[in-house]
Chains A and B, each alone.
With several copies, the nearest count.
Chain A
């Protein structure tokens, strides 16, 4: 297949899911004629009609709440939240309904709902358009949380997310929407498996979503210093693929976790907690974290400084080597 952008890879995944299952419906703000502000749903309303690609009222709680009702009627809704910062009005429906309904019914009803959220910064946007709220959802039992870093994964994971009978929060790395790569129909990689995207021996870097490319760049740069870094793309944030993480750290003895979200109480905290518990005797240095600062996302003219970059990752790697 020809290389496509990450946005297009998701678009193709959505299309395929709609072709395969007539119960799949898309709903969100401006996803119809406009094709979404990032064009991820481009052309889908034209081809599948307004009943299946639904331009909703401007009400996020309603988008998710209506998805719950559609699921109860046997549908498989895929919601688009326009930007990360606009998922909060739907937080109640997600946390108290989507995440808990299956359990409330003791398994009688299923919530095959996918909630797509373009997330992260780095695109020069105004406030609320660059948030990384994934930890809120990872901490919420009953949800599964996925991310993607490449067109190939984006395509497969969105299809797996829609196909699974559990609710999935699907985070799309908005600043990587235009990155190109091949996609394939092979859905055999388990949805919750992390991937070693670069094998290495000296130190492990864990990243996900937009930071995977940055981590890979850091690994390349580290070669110059004679460091062979292993890079893991988590893909699944909840559940975490602890086995893959531990296997790596047991080999390298060092771990740096990278994400855009504020470092405190973020994904890095959970990973550090697990690794120091499960690989206590393998760690030659503490797990170190590189993340956004514990501040609101900054004005865009200073976002490049705020976001983790190659230098800050390497700085952490260097600190790890001092142990």
Chain B
């Protein structure tokens, strides 16, 4: 039997809220959201965009060494982040500031590595949010292993919503080419692990368009490994929420992995070091601006709910407070002590390393001007 790949030129996206702000239904992914929840999602979107733009500004001011903006991807990240239950684990790349936000991570926690005062430095267990991972794709295998642990702990398919646990692994379109990501697919499928692979296809891997990585839509990749794949409008927070919820439930209930391709767009540069004018045209940007993830929710709230002006004014104020928190907090992040580089290399540090530390400490002391100690 020959299986011809079913190439769908423009495959349907799961969409529940059009770019114009109109609610539509989807046969597979129904969602029942109250206006209050919608406002709450809107709040997240707005605040995530705000903290992101604040960080970009801080980089320009020299307060951060680098920033990887999530501009344009807020709906994908908030939708996915809000679908998680407390016990679920998530493994981000370096761009999931919106997921971090939904998990309750203080944005300042994220800034450390971009400022260069640490390499991440948070505890994944604090918010069930993994450390930012810069090596493309590596975290998908960590998600796989974590899901093995979940499975061994009996926290899959028990039917108890407090117990059953899924793992959500984030990665980009470019990452789908890495061996690690495909090995994660292999293993999760073969072992029927409770992991959801959430690919934000933002159309670019730095300067390379997604066509450099694949000639078919990425969500189709999953079927080759034997698990379902779905493409969702990554700029539609409702659709992302509904689809991720369903996928996580699929995983928690013991049906194994699922892949989600959130079709979205990187509205900014790859990072603050990047210059996208060298490789892409502004027309593309204009097209995607019309599909803005926040604008459509605002339209809906204004037109189809009784959200009053106070809500928006209050949110503006909250947004300002967050921005101030980010700015002030960033500047206050202390530089590490030179000797701190030795602190956490090992749990049980070798004598020789401690000697190296002591020698260096003595060397540093030798610069202290006489009488200054």
Query: Roughly how many angstroms separate A163 CA and B221 CA in the complex, as a whole number?
Result: 40
Question: What residues on B are CB-neighbors of A239 within 8 Å?
Answer: 350-353
Given contacts A59-B177, A107-B344, contact A72 B145 (CB under 8 A): yes
| B149, closest chain A residue (CB) | A73
Given contacts A57-B187, A109-B124, contact A302 B146 (CB under 8 A): no
Decide if A68 is an interface residue (CB 8 Å cutoff).
Answer: yes
Interface residues of A in 293-313 (CB under 8 A from B): 293-296, 298-303, 305-306, 311-312
Decide if B110 is an interface residue (CB 8 Å cutoff).
Answer: no
Question: What residues on A are CB-neighbors of B141 within 8 Å?
Answer: 61-62, 64-66, 68-69, 93
| B180, closest chain A residue (CB) | A61
Are the C-beta atoms of B115 and A61 separated by less than 8 Å?
no
Are the C-beta atoms of A299 and B345 separated by less than 8 Å?
no
Query: Roughly how many angstroms separate A92 CA and B179 CA in the complex, as a whole number?
Result: 11
Query: Roughly how many angstroms separate A95 CA and B283 CA in the complex, as a whole number?
Result: 42
Question: What residues on B are CB-neighbors of A56 within 8 Å?
Answer: 187, 212
Decide if B340 is an interface residue (CB 8 Å cutoff).
Answer: yes
Question: What residues on B are CB-neighbors of A97 within 8 Å?
Answer: 135, 138, 142
B66, B145, B274, B345: which contacts A68 (Cβ < 8 A)?
B145
Query: Roughly how many angstroms separate A200 CA and B120 CA in the complex, as a whole number?
Result: 45
| A164, closest chain B residue (CB) | B348
A55, A125, A312: which contacts B66 (Cβ < 8 A)?
A125
B118, B146, B148, B347: which contacts A164 (Cβ < 8 A)?
B347
Are the C-beta atoms of B212 and A55 separated by less than 8 Å?
yes
Decide if A74 is an interface residue (CB 8 Å cutoff).
Answer: yes
Question: What residues on B are CB-neighbors of A62 within 8 Å?
Answer: 141, 144, 177, 179-180, 183-184, 186-187
Question: What residues on B are CB-neighbors of A242 within 8 Å?
Answer: 352
Which of A67, A164, A300 has most chain B Cβ within 10 Å? A300
Decide if B257 is an interface residue (CB 8 Å cutoff).
Answer: no
Question: What residues on B are CB-neighbors of A302 within 8 Å?
Answer: 335-338, 340-341
A52, A93, A109, A293: which contacts B123 (Cβ < 8 A)?
A109
Q: Which of B5-13, B200-208, B302-310 contacts A (4 or more CB under 8 A)?
A: B200-208
Interface string of A88-114 (1 = CB under 8 A from B): 110011001100111111111110000
Question: What residues on A are CB-neighbors of B311 within 8 Å?
Answer: none
Given contacts A93-B141, A301-B116, contact A108 B124 (CB under 8 A): yes
Given contacts A37-B273, A65-B184, contact A306 B341 (CB under 8 A): yes
Are the C-beta atoms of A166 and B346 separated by less than 8 Å?
yes
Decide if B14 is an interface residue (CB 8 Å cutoff).
Answer: no
| A39, closest chain B residue (CB) | B278
Are the C-beta atoms of A298 and B206 separated by less than 8 Å?
no
B65, B125, B149: which contacts A126 (Cβ < 8 A)?
B65
Decide if A165 is an interface residue (CB 8 Å cutoff).
Answer: yes
Which of A127, A144, A306 has most chain B Cβ within 10 Å? A127
Decide if B150 is an interface residue (CB 8 Å cutoff).
Answer: yes
Interface string of A226-253 (1 = CB under 8 A from B): 0000000000001110110000000000
Interface residues of A in 22-63 (CB under 8 A from B): 25, 29-30, 32-35, 37, 51-52, 54-59, 61-62
Interface residues of B in 150-184 (CB under 8 A from A): 150-153, 174-175, 177-180, 183-184
Given contacts A34-B206, A105-B131, contact A65 B183 (CB under 8 A): yes
Are the C-beta atoms of B131 and A240 separated by less than 8 Å?
no
Interface residues of B in 315-373 (CB under 8 A from A): 335-338, 340-348, 350-353, 356-357, 360, 363, 366-367
Question: What residues on A are CB-neighbors of B338 within 8 Å?
Answer: 302, 305-306
Decide if B31 is an interface residue (CB 8 Å cutoff).
Answer: no
Are the C-beta atoms of A127 and B213 separated by less than 8 Å?
no
Given contacts A72-B145, A295-B345, contact A55 B207 (CB under 8 A): yes
Are the C-beta atoms of B144 and A69 separated by less than 8 Å?
yes
Decide if B29 is an interface residue (CB 8 Å cutoff).
Answer: no
Query: Roughly how many angstroms separate A90 CA and B126 CA in the complex, as a whole number?
Result: 29
A residues at B contact (CB < 8 Å): 25, 29-30, 32-35, 37, 51-52, 54-59, 61-62, 64-75, 77, 85-86, 88-89, 92-93, 96-97, 100-110, 124-129, 141-142, 144, 164-166, 192, 238-240, 242-243, 293-296, 298-303, 305-306, 311-312, 315
13 pairs from A and B in contact (CB 8 Å cutoff): A33-B278, A37-B273, A55-B212, A57-B212, A62-B179, A89-B135, A89-B179, A104-B131, A127-B113, A165-B348, A239-B353, A295-B342, A303-B116
8 smallest CB-CB distances across A and B, nearest first, come from A69-B145, A65-B141, A73-B149, A300-B116, A66-B145, A239-B350, A108-B123, A34-B207
Since A57-B174, A65-B145 are in contact, a sample of 16 more A-B pairs with Cβ atoms closer than 8 Å, ordered by chain A residue number, is: A52-B152, A55-B208, A57-B187, A58-B178, A62-B179, A65-B140, A86-B136, A102-B347, A103-B345, A104-B119, A105-B120, A126-B113, A243-B351, A293-B341, A306-B338, A315-B366
